[in-house]
């Protein structure tokens, strides 16, 4: 077997054999295939695609490159959620303890933000003392005690994907549904959960800009999960507007706690409950009532225990940015557009995100939203509040918002998008 013959097969729109896939993933992981050769193959896959059997085998080969976790010793059935990423997407924070409060175990392996999309671990690290890095033993102990854990994935899970993802990021091959689907699902299947719910975002602030592409990605991932014995469903959800009223690390933690306390923005509560019901049904607990767990305080109790178990102080004051700048409505009327991508880039420029994985983030940086599309506005009323420790960044953040906020004349009819657009599985 050699890399050139594999590259040529896919370059010429051929179908890769199981043996070719197994060999190329293993050889690349061990360093026997050069980066430029894997780059060429990734581009060939980007241009010519893969069929379902190829994607399934590619995913299986990446899973086989590392370890697989086993939660069979836990007294609860495991269920997990993965979001394809967006702006203001803090759903994992209230969701994991909520589902645990309803009787399932939630081993949530999460990541950091890059570019305009926020990262769950960055958000939680704004809580004093909280730590993302847990050993497998520590993770199992928290799951057994609390029922939910949110932590970083270890290096042993699908190392082939970690290596390939970094390559795709610098070779213009990220936007390939076979490679996206196999990247996400190799890690989730290796994680060992019994059930998985996918939150596939659609819109300007999402990776998938249109619903047809999002549906194709969701269908591919549900098929992969099913083929590997994981009960998998997907929701397509709107990301044309940021979720909730905050985008930024500590700001989103505060909002998540509001949801756990029985309040919070309606869209965040709606999506949290929708995903919780899907996770519980997939785990064989369809009669559990997540709305009751929010109302009676049991979800909040599980949140506090989870944060404490990972070294955090749930009662500590969260960081606050040193400087704020208020953006007021330029005219009276109906807010028709609050573009998720524009808000995400602005929050990123304020210091809430990173351009490279090694960059630091500001815990207090971000944006508060004082209105959502469909709201009636009065000229001069506060529309956004920008937060940062570095006020020289305000002009760059404001530049990102140009064209992202549109106000129509009074009386304009406007119907906001639904939160959940479709279900696959």
CA distances to 2, 76, 172, 182, 189 from 59, in Å? 20, 27, 20, 5, 9
Beta carbons of 84 and 197 less than 8 angstroms apart: no
Number of domains making up the chain? 3
List the CATH number of the domain containing 269: 3.40.1030.10
Are 202 and 327 found together in one domain? no
What is the per-residue pLDDT for 165? 85
What is the per-residue pLDDT for 357? 65
Count CB atoms within 10 A of the CB of residue 380: 11
Walk along the chain (425 residues) in steps of 10 and give the mean pLDDT of each run. Answer: 96 98 97 96 97 95 94 93 95 98 95 83 97 94 96 89 87 89 94 95 93 96 93 97 98 98 97 98 96 97 98 98 98 97 97 81 97 96 98 98 96 93 95
Are 339 and 398 found together in one domain? yes
What is the per-residue pLDDT for 166? 82
In the structure encoding, which two tokens stand for residue 53, read together?
């059997």
Are 185 and 246 found together in one domain? yes
Q: Annotated catalytic sites, by residue?
A: 82, 161, 168, 183, 187
What is the per-residue pLDDT for 117? 84
User: 335-358: per-residue pLDDT in tens?
Assistant: 999 999 999 999 999 999 887 767
- Residue 268 inside a domain? The answer is yes
Are 189 and 98 found together in one domain? yes
Start-end of H helices in 113-265: 120-124, 136-145, 159-169, 177-191, 211-227, 249-260
User: 356-368: per-residue pLDDT in tens?
Assistant: 767 789 999 999 9
Distance CA 412, CA 182 (A): 44
- Work out the widest C-alpha separation in the chain, in whole angstroms: 68
Are 165 and 300 found together in one domain? yes
Query: Can you name the residues that pair with 182 across neighbouring β-strands?
Result: none
The 8-class DSSP code of residue 350 comes to I
Q: In which domain, by residue range, is 402 found?
A: 323-408
What is the per-residue pLDDT for 197? 98
What is the per-residue pLDDT for 279? 98
Among 190, 172, 208, 163, smallest CA distance to 33 is for: 163
Are 167 and 265 found together in one domain? yes
The number of CA neighbours under 13 Å toward the Cβ of 46 is 14
- Residue 314 inside a domain? The answer is no
Residue the block writes with tokens 């210091």:
351
What is the per-residue pLDDT for 172? 86
Q: What is the pTM of this model?
A: 0.93
Are 105 and 152 found together in one domain? yes
């Amino acid at each position: 077997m050699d890399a050139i013959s594999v590259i040529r097969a896919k370059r010429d729109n051929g179908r890769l054999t199981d043996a070719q896939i197994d060999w190329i993933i293993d050889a690349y992981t061990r360093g026997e295939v050069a980066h430029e050769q894997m780059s060429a193959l990734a581009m060939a896959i980007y241009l010519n695609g893969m069929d379902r059997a190829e994607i399934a085998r590619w995913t299986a080969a990446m899973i086989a490159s590392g370890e697989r976790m086993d939660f069979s010793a836990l007294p609860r059935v495991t269920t997990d959620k993965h979001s394809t990423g967006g702006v203001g997407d803090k759903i994992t924070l209230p969701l994991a303890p909520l589902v645990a409060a309803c009787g399932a175990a939630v081993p949530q392996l999460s990541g950091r933000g890059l570019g305009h999309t926020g990262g769950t671990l960055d958000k939680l690290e704004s809580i004093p003392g909280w730590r993302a890095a847990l050993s497998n033993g520590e993770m199992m102990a928290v799951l057994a005690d609390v029922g939910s854990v949110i932590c970083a994935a270890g290096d042993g899970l699908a190392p082939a994907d970690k290596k390939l993802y970094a390559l795709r990021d610098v070779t213009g091959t990220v936007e390939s549904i076979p490679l996206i689907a196999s990247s996400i699902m190799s890690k989730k299947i290796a994680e060992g959960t019994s059930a998985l719910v996918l939150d596939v975002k659609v819109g300007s602030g999402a990776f998938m800009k249109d619903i047809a592409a999002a549906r194709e990605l969701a269908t591919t991932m549900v098929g992969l999960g099913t083929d590997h014995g994981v009960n998998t469903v997907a929701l397509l959800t709107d990301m044309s507007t940021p979720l909730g009223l905050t985008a930024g690390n500590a700001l989103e933690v505060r909002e998540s706690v509001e949801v756990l306390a029985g309040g919070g923005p309606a869209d965040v509560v709606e999506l949290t409950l929708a995903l919780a019901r899907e996770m519980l049904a997939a785990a064989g607990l369809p009669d559990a009532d997540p709305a009751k767990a929010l109302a009676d305080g049991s979800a909040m109790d599980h949140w506090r225990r989870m944060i404490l178990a990972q070294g955090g102080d749930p009662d500590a004051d969260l960081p606050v940015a040193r400087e704020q700048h208020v953006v007021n409505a330029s005219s009276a009327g109906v807010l028709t557009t609050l573009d998720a991508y524009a808000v995400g880039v602005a929050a990123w420029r304020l210091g809430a995100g990173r351009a490279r994985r090694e960059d630091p983030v500001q815990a207090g940086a971000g944006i508060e939203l004082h209105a959502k599309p469909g709201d009636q506005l009065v000229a001069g009323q506060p529309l956004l509040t920008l937060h940062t420790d570095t006020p020289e960044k305000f002009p760059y953040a404001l530049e990102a918002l140009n064209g992202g906020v549109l106000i129509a004349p009074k009386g304009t009819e406007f119907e906001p998008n639904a939160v959940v657009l479709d279900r696959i599985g």
